[in-house]
Amino acid sequence: MNGFESVLCIHDVSDYSRAMLSAKNSKLNINESCFVRKIFILRAILWDMIYSFSRAESVELAHSICSEASSGMNVKILGVKEARFAVLKGAQSPAVLVEIGFLSNSNEERLLKNSYYRQQVADAISQGVVSYMKTYAFAEPRNDKVHRGV
């Protein structure tokens, strides 16, 4: 097997189940006086919204990284896949795992030993993230002077 792919949390991992578990075990960063803190189902709904949003964003990030690798490197793109990797399951923000080659493939093993190739891969991944941010960023960082009315 050979190629380059981006992996995100598998779709059959229930956002609802993750949300219920998070509502039980995780804190939301909200004001202590807010009524949501006291109502379990609303916390679960908020977590469900966070996970659903993160999944859609992860798909876009994965495609952006693959697109940059495809245009910037001479590499076979295997595409965007889904998997049950624990590191991706609890992500509250866009999250992907990038598989940049297979050590079982002697040609890819040789490439991965080459520092120039590894730098090309790192550049393609970082360009994919930058491209994603330029395309999908919803808001610019807030200028504190403007916010305070200065």
Burial of residue 17, with CB atoms counted within 10 A of its CB: 0-12 exposed, 13-18 middle, 19 or more buried: exposed
Q: What is the pLDDT of residues 26-77, one digit of tens each?
A: 666 656 555 555 666 676 667 666 666 677 788 899 999 999 999 878 788 8
Per-residue model confidence (pLDDT) at position 150: 42
| Greatest mean pLDDT among 26-30, 93-97, 128-132 | 128-132
Query: Are 62 and 8 within 8 A, CB to CB?
Result: yes
Backbone angles phi, psi at 74, to 5 degrees: -90, 75
Name 6's bridge partners: 80, 98
Indicate the average pLDDT of the chain. 76
Q: What is the pLDDT of residues 12-26, one digit of tens each?
A: 556 566 666 666 666
Query: Are 5 and 96 within 8 A, CB to CB?
Result: no
Instruction: Give the Cα separation of 130 and 51 in Å (integer).
Output: 22
The larger pLDDT score, comparing residue 107 to residue 38, is at 107
Please give the share of the chain, as a percent, with pLDDT higher than 90: 26
β-strand pairing of 77-83 with 4-9: parallel
Instruction: Tell whether the model's pLDDT for residue 129 goes beyond 70.
Output: yes
Per-residue model confidence (pLDDT) at position 33: 56
